[in-house]
Chain A
Amino acid sequence: MLDFQRYQLAFTAHIRNPKLHAKPANVVEKRMSVYRESVFNNIFESVSVCFPVCQNVLGKRKWRHLIRNFVANYSAISPFFREIPQQFLAFLENITDLPSYLKPLAHYEWIELAISSQQTRPLSTQQTLNTQLNCMDDVITLAPASALLAYDYPVHKISKRFKPAAIEKTYLLVFRNTSFEVKFIVLNPVTFNLLSLTQSQPLTGRLALTTLANELQHPDLDLFMRFGAEILHDLCKQQAITLSQNTLDINIPQ
């Protein structure tokens, strides 16, 4: 290693953790503090803006301490500022003294950013967002930028006043509409299963519903299909799912 690099590494080691690493000899303290504060504040801002609820739930002091720890001990590998929160999420994985709902909450807060910047291909000509196609007879796929998520806690309800004590399975669909807004829909377990089915293979609405009704051994198939069709229609109207023509003649129900 070259001399000037030894100096540079002493400089950054001190910025990361001033308590553990002294500043390089003969650097003016007042000037060194400009860098300490600038690096920490940049990262603090980039992380905090993505996780307002985590910050609120933990309280200012613990939150600051957590980000100090992140700056001191985590090697961020992405040159993209947008990916600082994702790297913070990875850092949280190895933190043990957090409330059990905090990591799911952090993921839930991060996913909004992830979906807003998710790269997508333009919809194919056979795929359409309008509702002229029939959600029972056409193939259903989730919106191009979307995530179907299952959490152990009701992450969307957590606040300073509501910190969940017990596990409560929570299902969410997060998607970006054509106006680039990120929307969240809370799903019941049946709708979650329905959408999960359409993710694993191309299915028409009718076949997805029939398959699910069979799995659930639902006593009233007609009623189940009617409700299911309403749900799919509604999801389609919100642009949470897209339809494409069933050109492959797949899924003809028996």
Chain B
Amino acid sequence: MASLADIKGVGLGLKRELIPQIQNLYIEASQQDLSIHDSLIANINFVEIAPENWINAGGKAEADLAWFVERYPIVCHGLCLSLGGPDPLNKHFLKQVKQFLSVNKIPLYTEHLSYCTDNYQGKTGYLYDLLPIPFTEEAVKYVAQRIRQTQDILGQHIAVENASFYAAAPISTMDEITFLKAVLQEADCWLHLDINNIYVNSVNFAHKQDPIKLAQDFLRKIPAERIIYSHIAGHYQQSPTLLIDTHGKDVIDPVWDLLDTAYQLFGTFPTLLERDNNIPPLPALMREVNKIAAYQAHYQNNLAAPQDSTLATC
């Protein structure tokens, strides 16, 4: 049974395209009588899946999942719980999640600080996207209560992710970091820190200020003791003032710098590379996975900040 302590080091978001590539590496390793720890994917310590794509998936997906459960600790990163949604929490779904976590020995479930349902024409309706919660006192209390309810049903702590967003709600009465900290405090839950989202939001709401400074300031206000897990990813630049969180490109340098700062400030924590679009072959993804591992190694060995030249060759 994988435990929370097994979620450590570096992880990779598990996409269907990657499964045969990973499985082939296991076959090759076994044919050559080598350990997978000596292969291309030695630095993958764990994988992450969206429960919405794997619960009751049947057939090939079920067989693939069983294969990974045997070999890797897994994190569930949800998309559709709708923690900020106006309709009641979907308890039936949460019970399915609970069962899924238990059957597949998954120790960690995280969700977004966003909503994806409405109450349209009197019925709950899923919109399958991450929509922004206005930052108000009422919303803090409401969302925190739903996180607590989720933790009660699951019988375990969850982590919530700082979500990327594009449209500021004019009714907001506080900034994002104040909202985030208040929710974490009120819900008494963990933080799933998304490094790329900090950067995306800093650019999207820079209003002519320096986004890098805004991102660094945001990071410095994070309650370190609540960080349990983190994401890093690439994004799409629609314009110099608008970034879209597509997870479809390589991670850019300012985001690597933020990860570096985060490790420096808070120590290292398990970090996963998300890649959901334009997925390159595994060797290209592994360059980024290895880069995360190199950052972690530097801080774990208590060395000075890594040099760009050493990281470029990892």
In the bound complex, how far is the Cα of B86 from the Cα of A4, in angstroms?
A: 9
Q: Which chain A residues border B62 with CB–CB below 8 Å?
A: 119
Q: Which chain B residues border A7 with CB–CB below 8 Å?
A: 134, 169, 171
Q: How far is the CB of A8 from chain B (nearest CB, A)?
A: 6
Q: Does B55 reach chain A (CB closer than 8 Å)?
A: yes
8 Å CB contact of A77 from B55, B124, B136 = B124
In the bound complex, how far is the Cα of B204 from the Cα of A42, in angstroms?
A: 22
Selected interface stretch from A20-28, A126-134, A208-216:
A20-28
Selected interface stretch from A33-41, A51-59, A155-163, A221-229:
A33-41
Residues of A in contact (CB 8 Å), total: 47
In the bound complex, how far is the Cα of B120 from the Cα of A77, in angstroms?
A: 11
In the bound complex, how far is the Cα of B58 from the Cα of A13, in angstroms?
A: 34
A55-77 CB contact bits vs B (8 Å, 1 = yes)? 00000000000000000011111
Q: Contact check, B57 vs A82: say whether CB atoms are below 8 A apart.
A: yes
Which residue of chain A has its CB nearest to the CB of B50? Answer: A81
Q: Contact check, B127 vs A39: say whether CB atoms are below 8 A apart.
A: yes
Which residue of chain B has its CB nearest to the CB of A34? Answer: B166
Q: A81-B52, A81-B53, A180-B59 are in contact. Are A42 and B134 (CB under 8 A)?
A: no
Q: Does A171 reach chain B (CB closer than 8 Å)?
A: no
Q: Does A106 reach chain B (CB closer than 8 Å)?
A: no
Task: Tell me the residues in window 72-122 of chain A with beta carbons closer than 8 Å to chain B beta carbons.
Answer: 73-82, 84, 116-120
Q: How far is the CB of B244 from chain A (nearest CB, A)?
A: 7
Q: A34-B244, A42-B128, A77-B124 are in contact. Are A8 and B138 (CB under 8 A)?
A: no
Q: Contact check, A12 vs B171: say whether CB atoms are below 8 A apart.
A: no
Q: Is the interface of A mostly helix, strand, loop or mixed?
A: helix
Q: Which chain A residues border B127 with CB–CB below 8 Å?
A: 12, 15-16, 39, 43, 76
The winner among B133, B134, B242, B244 for most chain A CB atoms within 10 A is B134
In the bound complex, how far is the Cα of B52 from the Cα of A84, in angstroms?
A: 12
Q: How far is the CB of A157 from chain B (nearest CB, A)?
A: 26
A150-170 CB contact bits vs B (8 Å, 1 = yes)? 000000000000000000000
8 Å CB contact of B59 from A34, A42, A118 = A118
Q: Which chain B residues border A119 with CB–CB below 8 Å?
A: 56, 58, 62
Q: How far is the CB of B190 from chain A (nearest CB, A)?
A: 22
Q: Does A245 reach chain B (CB closer than 8 Å)?
A: no
Q: Contact check, B126 vs A78: say whether CB atoms are below 8 A apart.
A: yes
Q: A15-B127, A35-B129 are in contact. Are A4 and B139 (CB under 8 A)?
A: yes
B6-43 CB contact bits vs A (8 Å, 1 = yes)? 00000000000000000000000000000000000000
The winner among A12, A13, A76 for most chain B CB atoms within 10 A is A12
Q: Contact check, A80 vs B131: say whether CB atoms are below 8 A apart.
A: no
Q: Which chain B residues border A81 with CB–CB below 8 Å?
A: 52-53, 79, 128
In the bound complex, how far is the Cα of B292 from the Cα of A21, in angstroms?
A: 45
Q: Which chain A residues border B93 with CB–CB below 8 Å?
A: 79
Instruction: Please list the residues of chain B having a beta carbon within 8 angstroms of any beta carbon in chain A.
Output: 52-53, 55-63, 79-81, 84-86, 90, 93, 115, 118-121, 123-129, 131, 133-134, 136, 138-139, 142, 166-171, 204, 238, 242, 244
- 20 more A-B residue pairs beyond the given contacts A8-B133, A9-B119, with a C-beta to C-beta distance below 8 A: A2-B142, A4-B138, A4-B139, A7-B134, A8-B85, A11-B131, A15-B127, A16-B127, A27-B169, A31-B167, A35-B129, A35-B166, A77-B124, A78-B126, A81-B128, A116-B58, A116-B59, A117-B57, A119-B56, A145-B59
24 sample A-B contacts, Cβ–Cβ < 8 Å, listed by A number? A2-B139, A4-B133, A4-B169, A8-B85, A12-B127, A13-B118, A15-B127, A16-B120, A27-B170, A32-B167, A38-B129, A42-B128, A43-B127, A75-B124, A76-B126, A76-B127, A79-B81, A79-B93, A80-B56, A81-B79, A116-B60, A118-B59, A119-B58, A180-B60
